[in-house]
Amino acid sequence: MDRSKALAALSALAHETRLDLIRLLTPRGAEGMAAGQIAEKLGLAAPRLSFHLSALEQAGLLRSRKLARHVFYSVDTHMVGSTISFVLNDCCCHHPDVLAACAHNRRAGADQGEVAVSGTENT
């Protein structure tokens, strides 16, 4: 993964709406979700959603496939992982404290249960 790709991916992630999209779509796996359903879940106007979906797709973080009149979007988990590891590798040079903080927080998160949402927020 080269720098410009990583930078594009980071820029794409650095927006509230787009993080919401990643958060919503990740648990859906490769199947993903249709744009209309996403718009409904997140309460977004269609053009606005389109704008952010295409930003994420451009950055390589989402894939899309057409099915009848729907377009399904799914997260490219490999790309997300690569982006994260870019920050760890290239920027932080495997600095032990960064890795430690990362590992610690990952464990803490798992302990508390800010996990396993996967469809439960279906109000």
Partner DNA sequence: TCAACTATTCAAGAAACCTTGAATTGACCA
Partner DNA sequence: TGGTCAATTCAAGGTTTCTTGAATAGTTGA
Choose the contact partner of 114 out of DNA, a second copy, none; CB within 5 to 8 A by kind. Answer: a second copy
CA distance 80 to 10: 9
Is 27 a binding residue for a second copy by CB under 8 A? The answer is: yes
DSSP assignment of 58-80: HTTSEEEEEETTEEEEEE-HHHH
Nearer to a second copy, 36 or 81 (CB): 81
Nearer to DNA, 66 or 94 (CB): 66
Is 46 a binding residue for a second copy by CB under 8 A? The answer is: no
CA distance 118 to 81: 19
Among 40, 46, 70, 117, binds a second copy (CB under 8 A): 117
Cα 118 to Cα 21, 29, 114: the distances in Å are 13, 10, 11
Query: x/- contact string, 12-51, with DNA (CB under 7 A)?
Result: ---x-x----------------xxxx-x-----xxxxxxx
Nearest Cα neighbor of 75 from 64, 67, 89, 90 is 64
Residue 69 neighbours by CB under 8 Å, 6+ apart = none
Is 105 a binding residue for DNA by CB under 7 A? The answer is: no
Give residues in contact with DNA (CB under 7 A): 11, 15, 17, 34-37, 39, 45-55, 64, 66, 68-71
